Structure formats: C-alpha cells, structure tokens
Structure 1
Amino acid sequence: MGAQVSIGDFALMTGLSRKALRHYHDIGILEPAHVDPGTGYRFYDTGQVDHAHIIRRFRSLGMSIPDIKALLSTDDAGARTEIITSHLEQMEAALAQTRDTVGALRELLAPASPPADVTVRHEPALAVWSVSATIDVSEIDDWFAAALRTLHRAVATVAGAPAAVVPGGLYERALFLEQQGRATLFVPAPPSVGPPAGVRAEVLPRTEFAVLTHPGGHDGIDRGYAALGIYVNEHMISSQGPIREHYFGGTPTDPARFTATEICWPIFGTAASSA
C-alpha cells in the first residue's frame, strides 16, 4: 500500500477529472481506497495511479467501459490480449474507413472531369435469367447480394458446379430520381434449359449505350456516373431507358468481389459521334 491522497491530488497525478473519478467509482472500475463516512470525501492510494493511467489511456483510444472493466478484472493474459487485439482491429477498421472518407472528400474538391475513354456499344438482344424487385435505395445492397446468390445457384444447378459468370444489372431511373424503383440482376441464360423457380427467363432488347468502366465495385462509382453523364449530355443524346451495369472479376467462391464495373448509359443513335 502507498500513501492515501485526496481526490484533487489524485486528479493531478492521473489526468482524470473529479467528474471522471466519481463516474469510474460509480461504475466500479476505479474505486477509492477510502471514503470518509462523515464527509463523503474520496481518498485514493498512490498504488492506484498506474491503474488510473491504464483507464485514461484506453478511454482516449475509444475502448468501451465494459471492455476496460473486463480487461482490469482478469488476470488471464490470454483474455487481456484478446480484448486488446479486438480493440486494435476495430481501430484499424475505423482508420481505413476514415482514410476512404478523406479520399472521397478530396475527390469532391476536383470537378467530375468528362473522361476520354467513353466508348459507344451496340448491345444485341440478349437472352438472360433474371431476378427483379421494386426496392428502396436503402435496400439495394441487401437485395443485390441476395439476387446474386440466387442467380449463381441457378447457374450452378445447370452446370453441376459453381460457374464463373458476368452478371449485369438494370436500374430504372425512378430508383435514382425517387429513391424507389425497379432493379433487375441478370446473367446470360444457359442454352437449351429453363430457369429454376424464382428466376425469370427474358430477352433484353437491343440497346445502344455509352460505356465507361469503373475500377472495382460500387465504392466511388458515383463519380463515374457523374463523368459519364456529363460526357453523354455534352456529346450525345441521352435516352431515358434504364441504366445498365456489368460486373467483372467475381469468382464462384467470392461472386461479389468485382474488379471492374461497366456503367452503360442508354443513348439514341450516334453513328456520327466521334466518341
């Protein structure tokens, strides 16, 4: 045991305020060595200083009170390591998210420049298997993942094993304009066989598109949409049909990890365009 000191001196030694010390006493992670029964004054032992420093340091690093309490209440080195490692992983994930956000904000400082690599493509009519729904924008990620799994299972049923396919999506403009609209995910239809239950066979009509390739999946794709839309409206005639996307790089074991996404903006005939 060391010397007992007042809450004021203990605050100076530990960097913890009177309010924080009272709170930590109330929740049971840093109790005073002695509380005067007559005055209610709290006194701490100098041997508690290191304990207080641990609490302050981990709180400054964002560790939750329950995790700090668990960390301080166990003598199991493995359990302590697990708590700290878990918190470090959370911090690394948050740091990566912050870096992504900073990068996105920096991109916003620069105008969406019309790209030089827009191509014009005449897509022929295409027989596909598809899954469609009218959804809210807030639901699109969950719907997309479920629809993609459904289509991959359907193709695997025919192929007898998971197969690499290039899926595509069709998105009505209401989905962008009203935040609710029809979305369709599709894959090229296997030959000479009908789709299983829950999957529709249809033929996509021949359409002409202006096409821009965005690296990766949907992260940051809004900049690609902006750049392509500027180019189309400045150099071509935009059609009001659904937007089409094609997703490349997915594998049977990780079908949603795309290396590139083609954005296909419908346009009217552009035979004379220089694009």
Structure 2
Amino acid sequence: MGAQVSIGDFAVMTSLSRKALRHYHDIGILEPAHIDPYTGYRFYDTSQVDHAHIIRRFRSLGMSIPDIKALLSTDDAGARTDIITTHLEQMEAQLQQTRDTVGALRELLSPVSTPASVTVRHEPELAVWSVSATIDVSAIDDWFMASLQTLHQAIATATGTPTAVVPGGLYERGLFLEQHGSATMFVAAPPSADAPEGIHAEVFPKAEFAVLTHPGGHDGIDRSYAALGIYVNEHLISSQGPIREHYLGGTATDPGRFTATEICWPIFNTIASPERQQ
C-alpha cells in the first residue's frame, strides 16, 4: 500500500477529472481506497496510479468499459493478450475503413470523368440458368452471395466437376429508383442438362448494350455507373431496360472473387455491325 491522497491530487497525478473518477467508481473499475464516512470525501492510494493510467489510456483508444473491466480483473496473461489483440484488430479495421472513406472523399473532389473506352456490344440470345428475387438494396450483398453459390453448385453438379463460369446479374430500374425491386443472378446454361429444382431455365432475348469495365471489386462502382450513364445519355440513346452486369475473374474454387465487373447499360439499336469501339 502507498500513501492516501485526495481526489484532487489523484486527478493531477492521473489526468482523470473528478467526473471521470466518480464515474469509474460508480461502475466499479476504479474505487477509492477510502471514503470518509462523515464528509463523503474520496481518497485514493498512490498504488492505484498505474491502474488509473491503464484505464485512461485504453479509454482514449476506444476500448469498451466491459473489456477494460475484463482486462483489469484477470491475472491471466493470455486472457489479457487476447483482449488487447482483439481491440487492436478492431482499431486496424476502423483505420482501414477511415482510409477507404478518405480515398472516396478525395475522389469526389474531382468530377465524374468521361470513360476512355465504351464498347457498344450486341448480345445474342442467351440460354441461362437463373435465380431471381424481389429484394431491398440493403439485402443485396447477402442475396448476391447466396445466389452465386446456388448457381455454382448447380453447374458443378450438372458438369460433374467444379467449373469456372462468368456469372451475371440483371437488375430492374426499380431497384435503383425505389431501393426495392427485382434482381436476377444467372450463368450460361450448360449444354444437354436440365435445370435442377430451384433453378429457372430461360432464354434472354438479344439486346444491345453500352459496356464499361469497372476494375477490381465493387468499391467505387457508383462512379463507373455515373461515367457510363453520362456517356450513354450524351452520345447514344438510353433504353429503360434492366441493367446487366458480368462478373469476371472468378475461379472454380473461389467464384466470388472477381477482378472486374462489366456494366452493361441497355441502349436502342443504333448500329448494324455487332460491335463498335467508341
């Protein structure tokens, strides 16, 4: 035990305010060594200074009160390491999120750039296996992965082996306009195979699209959508049909890891040749 000091001196020694010390007393992580029964004055022991510094440092780093309680209440070095490591991982994730946000904000300082290359592509009829649903935009990521896995498994079963395919998505305008609408995930139908239960076999009609390839994952894809939409409306004739996406780069073992997304914006038939580079 050390010497007992007043709450004022303890505040100076620990950089914790009277309000903070009272709060930590109330929640049971830093109780005074003595409370005068007549005056109610709180006194702390100098041996509690290190304890107080730990609390202040970890609170300044965003550690939760329950985690600090767990950290201070255990003598198990492994348990303490686990608590601190978990918090560090959370901080690293938050830091990466902040970096991503800063990058996105910097990008917004520049106007949407006109894409260097847009392909006008004529897509012939396409026999597909598909999974469709009416969904909210907030649920689209979960639906996307579940539908992709369903189709990937169906293709693997039909062909007898895991097969790399180029999946695609078809998104009605209502999904963008109302944040609620119809979405379809599809793959090219394997030859001479019947669609299994739960999978719809259909034929997409021929259509013409303006196509822009968005590199990497879906981060920043809104800017690619904007660039393509500007180009289509300034140089072509936009159609109000569903938007189509093609997901490139997935493998048989990791179908959800894409290297690029083709955004296909429907347009009215404007050319006789099947393809033209803009």
TM over 0.5: yes
Partner of 2:172: 172
**For each residue in 1:92-148, what CA deviation from the matched residue of structure 2 results, as whole angstroms up to 9, or x when unmatched?**
000001111111111111111111111111111110000001111111111111111
Q: Does 1:128 align with 2:128?
A: yes
Question: For residue 212 of structure 1, what is the amino acid of its counterpart?
Answer: L
Partner of 1:163: 163
> What secondary structure does 1:117 align onto?
coil
TM-score by length of 2: 0.96
Cα-Cα RMSD? 1.3
Native 8 Å contact 2:117 2:277 kept in 1: no
Partner of 2:53: 53
Rounded Cα–Cα distance in structure 2 between residues aligned with 1:37 and 1:160 = 81
> What secondary structure does 1:90 align onto?
helix
Rounded Cα–Cα distance in structure 1 between residues aligned with 2:39 and 2:250 = 69
Unaligned segments of structure 2, at least 5 residues: none
Question: For residue 58 of structure 2, what is the amino acid of its counterpart?
Answer: F
TM-score by length of 1: 0.97
Question: For residue 117 of structure 1, what is the amino acid of its counterpart?
Answer: S
> What secondary structure does 2:150 align onto?
helix
Superposition map of 1:210-249 within 5 A: 210-249=210-249
Question: For residue 204 of structure 1, what is the amino acid of its counterpart?
Answer: F
Runs of 4+ in 1 over 3 A off after TM superposition: none
Q: Does 1:146 align with 2:149?
A: no
> What secondary structure does 2:228 align onto?
helix
**For each residue in 1:152-181, what CA deviation from the matched residue of structure 2 results, as whole angstroms up to 9, or x when unmatched?**
111111122322111000001111111111
Native 8 Å contact 1:217 1:247 kept in 2: no
Rounded Cα–Cα distance in structure 1 between residues aligned with 2:98 and 2:252 = 31
Rounded Cα–Cα distance in structure 1 between residues aligned with 2:133 and 2:171 = 10
Unaligned segments of structure 1, at least 5 residues: none
Question: For residue 203 of structure 1, what is the amino acid of its counterpart?
Answer: V
Rounded Cα–Cα distance in structure 2 between residues aligned with 1:231 and 1:214 = 15
Native 8 Å contact 1:33 1:43 kept in 2: yes
Cα deviation, residue 274, structure 1: 6.7
Cα deviation, residue 269, structure 1: 2.0
Cα deviation, residue 21, structure 1: 0.7
Superposition map of 1:1-275 within 5 A: 1-271=1-271, 275=278
